[in-house]
Amino acid sequence: MLHSALYGLPALCLIIALFVFINVKTGFAGIVRSGAAARAVLARKENNRGGASPLKSAFAALSATVGTGNIVGAAGAVTLGGPGAVFWMWAAALLALSVKFAEIYLSKSGSFAFAYIRSALGGGALRVFCLFGILTAVGIGNITQTNAAAQSAALLFSLFGARKTAVICATGACFALLGFIILYRRIAVRFCERLLPFMAAGYVILCLFALFFSRRALPRVLSAVLRGAFDPEAVTGGAVGSAFLALKSGISRGVFSNEAGLGNSAISYEKSEGDAQTVALFGIFEVFVDTLVLCTLTALVVLCAGSAVYGADAGALTALFAFSALLGKKALFFFCPAVVLFAFSSLIGWGIYAGRFAEIIGLPSTPVFAVYCAFALFGAVLRAESVWQIAEICTLFMMAINLAAVAAKCGKSGKRTSRALIRLP
């Protein structure tokens, strides 16, 4: 009931309005500066002052951002909202480019990651934001990730006769134990930045293989995406009954995936070398990789396979069955480990965020790491639908404070900030 009340039409309209406002105030910086962002990523400049390079910070941020939202979230958007949800996921991503850019720009312009929230809304709002940040880390970075990984691991090991319950519990226990060890020993950042490039590249290759074998279906699928955005019934046969549901599913799962509006990735860039504008360009790279590449590939695979059951909530199994339909059962041996790696890297990335949120409000990070990782035991055994509702509720509370602060800073600065954000280096 709480989820339905919060994630209704008013909340969705408010999120869209704030995204559009930030885009207008920044001169659509995320879109205008996309070319500069590509050049900055390809340049791969190394710093000589001992700090982290923005590219490595981007990989660390992506390790949290690129999680099962790219697999489970994209598949869930399609099954809940029909093919048209993909269109609205793209639209949300284009708006998210500027929002992510503005968050990182404001963060790097201040004395610490969330100084702009304290400046715009006061110290009390910052403390509430950090508390919601810890809760969001548990919901997004832990429970949803562990749940998807447990489902995938259970299916894979069922081929060898293993009991589903035992595998699910073992997955939760392994995530909790290994996650705490990595976070406690402070090797999480190195772990994330080294794992992410190989993990993402492997998943892209797997998706391209699947789409190659179903290439004849691609024109039909792309047509369904465009038609379904405004008339879902025409595509799904009435199983999905409104354009609002397609829009809601696409935007909510897209935002969940790229995490624009939450402000959390500013933590990853807190110690990056470089001026605010240059570092903020890597936020554009984040959204592009996460939503416009990985989420799109997953959604297209699901649609090409025809495995979506419209109107039903989706877990990792929806995308998994799609890959199996296109590549055969052998795909399980590639897909299931990919889900587990995505999930674990996201758990580690959000664990870093949880520790930093705790430090900002004066809490010791080690007990927070312990409690945070313990929730993996619960995430593994919960129902997928409940897991996603918990995650989306946490996301909304955190986003409300962050977007209010970003909008306030952009609104007060007016055209001066707009020109600064889009000025070419």
Per-residue pLDDT 10s for the chain (425 aa) are: 555 555 666 777 888 899 999 999 888 999 999 998 888 888 865 554 555 677 777 877 777 777 666 777 777 778 777 788 889 889 888 999 999 999 999 998 888 889 999 999 999 999 999 998 998 898 888 988 898 889 889 988 988 888 989 999 999 999 999 999 999 988 877 777 777 788 888 888 989 999 998 889 899 989 888 888 877 665 555 555 556 667 777 777 777 678 888 888 888 888 888 888 889 999 999 889 888 898 899 889 988 987 555 544 455 667 778 888 888 888 888 888 888 988 898 899 899 999 999 999 999 999 999 999 999 998 888 776 666 677 677 778 888 899 999 999 887 755 554 455 544 33
198 exposed, middle or buried (CB, 10 Å; 0-12, 13-18, 19+)? exposed
Full set of structural domains in the chain with CATH? 2-422 (1.20.1740.10)
Q: What is the dihedral of CA 70, 393, 30, 192, to 10 degrees?
A: -50
CA 17, CA 251: separation in Å to the nearest integer?
A: 13
Rounded to two decimals, the pTM is 0.85
- 399 closest CA partner among 249, 226, 275, 259: 259
- The predicted structure's pLDDT at residue 176: 95
What's phi and psi for 272, nearest 5 deg? -75, 140
Q: How far is CA 225 from CA 55, 209, 218, in A?
A: 33, 21, 10
- The predicted structure's pLDDT at residue 423: 45
Q: What is the dihedral of CA 357, 358, 359, 365, to 10 degrees?
A: -120
Structure tokens at 103: 């968050």
- The predicted structure's pLDDT at residue 376: 92
